[in-house]
Amino acid sequence: MLSKRFGRIAVGTVAGAMLMAAAACGGGGNTSAGNSAAPSTGAASEPAKASGLKVGLAFDVGGRGDKSFNDAAYAGLEQAQKELGAEIKDLSPAGDGSNRGELLRQLAEAGYNPIIGVGFAYGEDIKKAAQEYPDIEFAVVDSASNAPNVTGLLFAEEQGSYLAGVAAALKSKAGHVGFVGGVENDLIKKFEAGFSAGVKATKPDTKVDVKYLTPDGDFSGFKAPDKGKIAAEKMYQDGADIVYQAAGDSGTGVFQAAAAAKKQAIGVDSDQRLTVKEADLQAVIMTSMIKRVDVGVFQFIKAFQGGAKGGKNDVYDLKVDGVGLSTTGGEIDDIKEQVDAAKKKIVDGEITVPSKP
């Protein structure tokens, strides 16, 4: 059973327990931050019996508590504990992420197998660890497989973001929206590209403001709510009435700016109307672009338990509801028909969503 807390997806749900293997794709980058309790999957009322399965997970910068990317990964890990009887261990890197490789080795030396690195920045460290520990299976979120014992968990962020752009264009009364990215790297540009394409395809005259919080390589942009707030405040002051954020914990600042300006925002990765606790911030999140990292992590672990090996990429796109829009709060229920139509065109190949701005 999928995690309730990660919300309903507007156009379909992830079908049961599917593991999609697809042709190799390029890598990217993503979000993070925080250090509070992660959401429960609600997967099973009674934990499964111990199975001898030991799963290690190394978070992106900031660790658990971002209410977004890292927490989604943890939900998949927690589901494996509850449903598969896995013993689990999670570790968080230093603020600058400089000890990612050390975390992987720590887990390997402690006997964890498989081991998952959350975020594209683990790509090279996973490759090295996979060579050092050839009998251990690894997975890396948002980066392609680069070794026989590595599985890449990839997502079509641009497709989900296109639907977010459709929703923003249809719901904007000002004809002016914005996008705040945490770090200006290739993966976050996929979010921007899809969002802008969805907006322009729906209402070509709509203005789209774009702001990145830090340059490529500086991951502090994923854990700087103050910077997110300043960026969004400027957009709202300039006339935008909806801002989509792909900025990890910095997205909290975007929600704060939306609440102060009495405007709206779009969340990312998890159904943030559920994961954000503050009622005033929940109220401004009209939808979230859900990226089912929880599903990818859980299905990788389940496949490993069944004997699957690496050297491949598992791709989660709109065809398998690996990305989509949340409908919590009902604020996009009135445009469901248009969102569904856009999704169908993407799935049918009538629309090819750009992955670069």
**Mean pLDDT to the nearest integer, 170-181:** 98
Whether residues 24 and 67 share a domain: the answer is yes
- pLDDT above 80: residue 25: no
Q: What tokens were used for 137? A: 């299976």
In a domain, residue 354? The reply is no
Axis-axis angle for helices 251-261, 225-237 (nearest 10): 40
Whether 26 has a pLDDT exceeding 70, the answer reads no
Q: Are residues 225 and 284 in the same domain?
A: yes
In a domain, 335, yes or no: yes
State yes or no: pLDDT of 241 exceeds 80: yes
Amino acid 292: pLDDT: 94
Instruction: Note down the domain range covering 332.
Output: 157-291+323-347
Mean pLDDT of 130-153: 97
**How many structural domains does the chain have?**
2
Q: Convert the pLDDT of each residue in 50-72 to its tens digit.
A: 669 999 999 987 678 777 788 88
Q: Are 201 and 300 contained in the same domain?
A: no
The pLDDT tens digits of the residues spanning 182-198 come to 999 999 999 999 999 99
Q: Are residues 211 and 193 in the same domain?
A: yes
Chain-wide mean pLDDT for the chain? 87
Residue 34 tokens read as 């925080």
Please list, in sequence order, all residues whose beta carbon lies within 8 angstroms of the beta carbon of residue 182, skipping any fewer than 6 positions away.
31, 188, 212, 213, 214, 219, 221, 222, 228, 246, 247, 248, 250, 251
Q: Phi/psi of residue 235, each to 5°?
A: -65, -45
Question: What is the rounded average pLDDT of the residues 289-301?
Answer: 95
Strand partners, 115: 56, 138
- Same domain? 168 vs 264: yes
The better pLDDT of the pair 161, 27 is held by 161
Q: What is the DSSP string of 129-158?
A: HHHH-TTS-EEEETS---STTEEEEEE-HH
